[in-house]
Structure 1
């Protein structure tokens, strides 16, 4: 199963898997799957969001205020961080990156969780702070922007 991120995200995979399981089980048993009605339609969410944020062309709207905030907060950040690398950056982006798997053992996880609890932070926040510290030590500077995808859903129905 392949789902483009524009159509689904990590939060969506659980309900999608449950729906596929329900449909498969029903079909194997020779029945039509029974679907529960959705509590909210995507159109309802977009209408609510438009009402909340307002018109992007209205300088007094929440939308314009938030965009202005982030433009100011991120102003002056470099387009890319200069970090030590094992090969030169290509002149044209190739999208042929790679990843590094990092395993966190049970003892380290417990200690990191203890730091998070003692700091009133989440484990994610502790790990992100550690990443920012590492990037600073590697030469990215003291003001390091680290992005993270966010589902932005504050209601279980979404």
Structure 2
């Protein structure tokens, strides 16, 4: 598969809103949002963040991410999600590597961080495969008040 990426556009919003296939996936993607994800909720995040990026495959938007913190010390990747139809095909890897490259090239950052809930096994495995290492665990609660662990991961930028 040959992927490309570009800044998010208004006509991508409805597609991105369709990516979370469950309440749990929405929580992993955007913990502050409520099910179902609406364009209005997504636009709040987009307007508060930078480098809102989509991955495109054969003309279809198949992935999305952005930075919720950015600067020379660190860039923090957030709102990471891949279309259910494109999972397991390398989109997530391409998306995260693209965001790491943007952090290094555009923000001249020393490291990239991201956070992943303990129940998101696919995300944790992907992030560790591409060089992210855990450095902290934060106690959180899901929307039902159940305890969850938010695992913070980092990767040094080495000019990649």
With the shorter chain as reference, the TM-score category is: under 0.3
TM-score with structure 2 setting the length: 0.20
Structure with a larger share of its residues in helix: 1
**Bigger radius of gyration among the two:** 1
TM-score with structure 1 setting the length: 0.20
Structure with a larger share of its residues in strand: 2
